[in-house]
């Protein structure tokens, strides 16, 4: 496992990459590979708002201090969820049952009650985590639209652009179910961004278990992955070759993994560790991911303690 040693300069570089995120067209068929736009959206937000990097650096410094100082507690965090459904077709107007199935998946995955948690290899069993965060569906908002796809510029989060504004984003997790397009399954806003766009977007085809859920992303793990980002988790490969996810108990990955890699899958990074391909923050198929690590648990918990970036949800 790796150690996290990042200077203030390194953190600033991590949160100040710049890239342009554009509108995207709907995909023509079932995806062969997972596509998450959270990092690209972050880079566009950093370009648009130079102060965001400073806020995220402050959040990161607080997170590392909280993890090192023992400020984390074992209390339960309960997250009220508002789901905003934007639809043009009947298939996009996902049912209440499909929405509830997604909440159920989140509760299973964040509490290690998912049936495949027991598949965790012995090598990682000592760090496989029960995060201890629960989710409660509070409200479903629905809106008929004329849009065929929404892209990744947050239009779905803005009533004036045909979407739906978030509801009480400092105390509720807002999720948008809509057609994103361009091969993107979902994306999330990291802590530190504007409250007017805070939350998680999931393409309606990959939201929950029933109805329009499309294989191999039909087990609700897209939302698990994206909510991980919303709770300050990075991709396990650090969005760079042999990069850092700022967590000490996850192995260093070469890059993203796809499909369901055979175990053990070795990294060629320093030390050639076995990669934790079954971690929710990789890019494997839904059936190939089934665990968070204790380090990721601590990182998520840090945002909810007093002074944390999502303290409004409280521990």
Using an 8 Å Cβ cutoff, are 84 and 207 in contact? no
Residue closest to 281 by CA, chosen among 163, 205, 190, 165: 190
Helix (H, G, I), strand (E, B) or coil at 54: helix
295-307: string of b/e by CB count within 10 Å (b at 16+)?
bbbbbbbbbbbee
Q: Which helix (H) or strand (E) holds 172?
A: none
Q: Could you give phi then psi for residue 143, rounded to 5 degrees?
A: -150, 125
Catalytically annotated residues: 226
Contact 279, 245 (CB under 8 A): no
Task: Tell me the Cα Rg of the chain.
Answer: 18
How many other C-beta atoms can be found within 10 angstroms of the C-beta atom of residue 207? Answer: 31
Strand partners, 85: 142, 177
- Going by C-beta distance under 8 Å and a sequence separation of 6 or more, which residues neighbour residue 272? 266
């Amino acid at each position: 496992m790796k150690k996290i040693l990042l200077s203030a300069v390194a953190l600033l570089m991590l949160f100040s990459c710049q890239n342009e995120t554009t509108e995207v067209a709907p995909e023509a068929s079932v995806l062969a590979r997972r596509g998450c736009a959270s990092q690209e959206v972050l880079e566009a937000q950093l370009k648009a708002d130079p102060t965001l990097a400073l806020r995220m650096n402050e959040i990161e410094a607080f997170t590392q201090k909280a993890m090192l100082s023992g400020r984390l507690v074992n209390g339960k965090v309960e997250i009220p969820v508002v789901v905003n459904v934007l639809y043009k077709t009947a298939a996009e107007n996902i049912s209440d049952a499909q929405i509830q199935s997604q909440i159920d998946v989140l509760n299973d995955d964040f509490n290690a009650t998912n049936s495949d948690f027991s598949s965790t290899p012995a090598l990682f069993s000592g760090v496989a985590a029960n995060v201890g965060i629960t989710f409660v569906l509070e409200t479903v908002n629905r809106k008929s639209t004329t849009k065929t796809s929404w892209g990744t510029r947050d239009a779905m989060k803005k009533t004036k652009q045909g979407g739906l504004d978030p509801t009480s984003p400092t105390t509720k997790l807002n999720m948008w179910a809509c057609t994103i397009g361009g091969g993107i399954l979902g994306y999330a806003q990291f802590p530190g961004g504007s409250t007017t766009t805070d939350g998680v977007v999931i393409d309606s085809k990959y939201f929950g278990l029933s109805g329009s859920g499309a294989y191999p992303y039909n087990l609700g793990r897209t939302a698990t992955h994206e909510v991980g980002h919303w709770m300050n988790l990075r991709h396990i490969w650090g969005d760079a070759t042999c990069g850092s996810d700022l967590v000490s108990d996850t192995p260093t990955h070469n890059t993203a993994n796809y499909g369901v890699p055979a175990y053990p899958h070795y990294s060629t990074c320093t030390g050639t560790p076995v990669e934790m391909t079954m971690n929710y923050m990789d890019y494997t198929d839904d059936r190939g991911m089934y665990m968070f690590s204790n380090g990721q648990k601590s990182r998520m918990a840090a945002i909810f303690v007093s002074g944390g970036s999502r303290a409004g949800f409280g521990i």
